[in-house]
Structure formats: structure tokens, C-alpha cells
Amino acid sequence: MNATPAPSSPKAPRPRVIVSGVNRRDVIIGVLVALAVIGFIAFAVFNSGGYKERNKLDGIVRGHLAPGPREMLMTVSRKGVSEKTADTGYSLKVWVESEKREYEVMVSKEDFDKTKDGDEMSFLRPKSEQH
């Protein structure tokens, strides 16, 4: 008994898939969309840092305000409660000529100690007045 495989039936050819071509109109639309997206990204990047420059003020130190009472910071942990004294409440009076106004600027103890009356100082406008 000799087993010969049955002859296979011929397979039908696959139907052709027609892919539409890309014409000039499609290319132009793609390029315009890409330029618009890049333009929006560039606009966002260039305008993101500008608010700090608009809200930056330069003035002259006119006085030192005495620091208020020291704050006690309490930390609770598994080992118990620990207290630490914080150096806070240091501020300077700064006259800004362009605004015709004096600002009270909070500073660190180091800046409070090293700054003298008549020194120039740059600071950000208070949040309530920012543009």
C-alpha cells in the first residue's frame, strides 16, 4: 500500500490591494499642520518664562525691620517630640522708584545681616499683585 497524497487544488490568486497615492494636496496639508503644531510649541516656550521678568522689581534698601518672635518648630516621631527654633521674621524695607512705593521683603537671616541701607535689591512682586 503505497499512500500518495491527493493532488491539491490550485489556489486562487490573492486579490490586489489598491493603495491610493499621496497627492500634492495631502503633502501641503501635512506640512501646514506640522508647522502649526511647531508654532504653538514655540509660542508656549517663549512665553513661559516671561512672567518672572515682568514681575521682577529692583529697588534700594531703606531699612531693616526687627525680626518678630522666633518660631518653635515641633517634630513628632517615634522617638518622641523634638523642638527646634527657626530663624524667621527677617524683612527689609525696599523702595522701588518705578512704582513710587516701598515694599516689605522677607529675607533669610544671612541676607538680613549682609545687606546694608542703600544697597540695590531685586525681588519678585508679591503674588497678589503679579501680572
pTM of this structure = 0.51
Per domain, the residue ranges of the chain are 22-54, 56-125
CA 65 to each of CA 29, 80, 100, 112: distance values in angstroms, whole numbers, following the listed order: 63, 36, 20, 9
Q: What pLDDT tens digit does each residue of the chain (131 aa) get?
A: 566 666 666 777 888 877 677 788 888 999 999 999 999 999 988 877 665 667 888 999 999 988 877 777 888 888 888 888 777 788 899 999 988 999 999 888 888 899 999 999 998 888 877 76
Instruction: Give the E-state strand segments of 1-131 in sequence order.
Output: 56-65, 71-77, 80-86, 91-96, 101-106, 120-124
Which of left, alpha, beta for 100 (phi over 0: left; psi -120 to 50: alpha)?
left
Report CA Rg, the chain: 36
